[in-house]
Chains A and B, each alone.
Chain A
């Protein structure tokens, strides 16, 4: 009797709040630790002076300078940047047009099919994309080194570039463009003076994410690249197979910081108004299938 009175009293004092879930905060904190601690450990180890990775002897930038002076790594980094920049330019240009078509074209026949096709690289497992691309290039006898990589990367960068642009077009809505039409602006002029300037944040975010996707790709480059066109992740994979070394830690930390910084910049530019849009800008894959 007393206990029921007590609970009743407590209920009165604190009104029901479904947002309050004891334990969930700590659980989420642990999960965040699970996601980020391994990365932190890598970064810390990369500054270790000792040749034996797990014995800490002091802070040092020695391994970073070793990596920076390694000719093979520099060449691989150059290939990665070249492929990344070219694939970003191609995929962003394609993505701008496609985003406009999907977002401003109304409902047209075959829209759903075209959309699934463009989103296809997000759901096909990487290994399948990698070997089918390899088979394709070899069956048509297409062996042009860097160009093969640029083409392969462009394909899977298009959806990553398109989704932030599409989200941006959706947020700006058509009111400004309609106002331009009311003032007798031609379609081209409306695009150049209204739509394009408003699209810029989306385009920037899309281009950065396309570049990060290209820079991060391992498996497809691994299958498609030939002797002279080893990208940085493919080269680093080769180093990892030989064992854990301070050089691997250093180059991995560099790649990690570049990807994370670029992705954060993309999130900040796209400045989503609501959290739902943040989720979609953050993981295109999540929106692609919902």
Chain B
């Protein structure tokens, strides 16, 4: 065991590097979100709430504010797509996690590697694969045509469904792994006891497994929800610009629109949503722990 002072010195470089280049930029961006854009892509001094007002209102010619819901709908669409991604990943991921837990240790290792390997493969490339499959002359349309289902290619790409598919495809492993980690710690005797007390499979799931897996589900929910909310590549490549989400909107403020304060304000909105979801996760985990202790 090291003494406390050397522990401080050892973690200091990590804290400094991530503090300076990771945390401080967040605060600088918060400050940026209260400034106004200058035409050259930078910011200028007067402090305003302009960037936040811009999210909901547009300035009329006479300077009065009129309600403009465009950005609100983008934020709303991002939110519900992120939620849909989370729910779909949970519905698909839970049975897979349960299946893996039920296997022998050797097979578990193989299956876990298979589930986690996509995480290390470039998201850009994983998303691109779906363009190959879904585009008009892509594999899916070829297959449907060959089977005689369709005479004209279906517009499978560039809609909300394709974006959702891309999001679930990208973030599914994030749901399986934390659920697996909690299921693995589950005491099998509890399952056997509930069978001895005449629980059927549904009751076993609803009354024993699900409550005990809540911390893992909460962790998976945050791990899927947070990156899905700020996603850029999936809506950009699979949504084709028609399905603008908040991530693409932020990116545009730094490339084509050159409105840095608005982009900063939007990313603060995303950060705030992520902090809220983390707080929710902590609360759920604590509640689950308290319920187990009682």
Contacts and interface: CB of A to CB of B under 8 A. Distances in A.
Contacts of B226: 123-125
Interface string A232-260: 01001100100010001100100110011
Interface string B1-12: 110101111111
A255 B128 CA distance: 12
Q: Secondary structure of the B side of the interface?
A: helix
Interface size class of B (residues with CB under 8 A): 35 or more
Contact of A216 (B19, B32, B122): B122
Q: Which of B112, B124, B188, B264 is the most central at the interface, judged by chain A CB atoms within 10 Å of its CB? A: B124
Main secondary structure of the interface of A (DSSP, over half): helix
Contact of A128 (B7, B15, B135, B230): B230
B18 interface: yes
A16 B11 CA distance: 51
B122 A132 contact: no
Interface stretch (A1-9, A59-67, A71-79, A92-100): A92-100
A100 B2 contact: yes
B124 A236 contact: yes
B163 interface: no
Interface stretch (B51-59, B64-72, B171-179): B171-179
A290 B219 contact: yes
Given A133-B25, A290-B182, A155 B17 contact: yes
A69 B215 CA distance: 51
Interface of A: 16, 18-21, 24-25, 27-28, 31-32, 34-36, 38-39, 41-42, 45, 52-54, 90, 93-95, 97-98, 100-102, 104-106, 108, 114, 117-118, 120-121, 123-129, 131-136, 138-139, 151-152, 154-156, 158, 162, 174, 187, 209, 212-213, 215-216, 218-219, 223, 233, 236-237, 240, 244, 248-249, 252, 255-256, 259-260, 262-264, 267, 272, 274-276, 278-280, 282-283, 285-287, 289-290
The 5 closest A-B pairs by CB, nearest first: A105-B7, A125-B230, A101-B10, A282-B116, A136-B25
Contacts of A158: 14, 17-18
Contacts of A223: 251, 254
Contacts of A249: 132
Contact of A283 (B116, B237, B270): B116
20 contacts: A21-B102, A34-B169, A38-B169, A41-B133, A42-B132, A53-B132, A95-B14, A98-B11, A106-B7, A117-B15, A127-B231, A127-B232, A136-B28, A212-B120, A244-B135, A259-B120, A279-B116, A286-B174, A286-B178, A286-B181
A147 to B, nearest CB: 12
B87 interface: no
Given A18-B192, A132-B26, A248-B128, A24 B120 contact: no
